[in-house]
A = this chain, B = another copy of it.
Amino acid sequence: MTQSFEMLREAIERTVQFDSDGLVPAIAQQYDTGEVLMMAWMNKEALEETVSSGKVCYWSRSRQALWRKGETSGQIQVLQDVIVDCDGDTLLLKVKQTGVACHTGRRTCFFRRLQKDGEVSETLPVTISPTKLYSG
């Protein structure tokens, strides 16, 4: 293990508060446009890998495994910055998103507007067909 990886580990230990499942929520934001792309979870290993590799890797709670974003679909997130919040229990990832962040083929996962009168309307078009995304 290199000295700088050791120092990264210590910094994570000191700065980030993982919950009782060992996870922390991570918000991905497109670094230049400010679009909030998605929210997912990281464990210590996923965060270490993300910072050292420069490509975003989450922890999949459903699969209970590291989730290297874009490994299947090609829609990777190149890390620009990791910002830890005041309490250390949420991360903001500034990323360069290739293509689309959402498995539905939309640019971001946030596309269902909930209105006061109970109407739910879609705010984003599908830009890549999901069939195409996962035909790998």
Interface residues of chain A, those whose CB is within 8 Å of chain B, are: 4, 6-12, 14-16, 25, 27, 29, 33-36, 38-39, 51-52, 54, 81-88, 90, 92, 102-104, 106, 109-120, 123
Q: How far is the CB of A86 from chain B (nearest CB, A)?
A: 5
| Complex contact A7–B39 (CB within 8 A) | no
Give bound CA distance, A83 to B92, whole Å.
18
Question: Which of B6, B11, B102, B118 is A11 in contact with, Cβ under 8 Å?
Answer: B118
Nearest-CB residue, chain B, relative to A82: B114
Note all chain B residues with C-beta closer than 8 A to A118. 4, 6-11
| Complex contact A29–B36 (CB within 8 A) | yes
| Complex contact A39–B27 (CB within 8 A) | yes
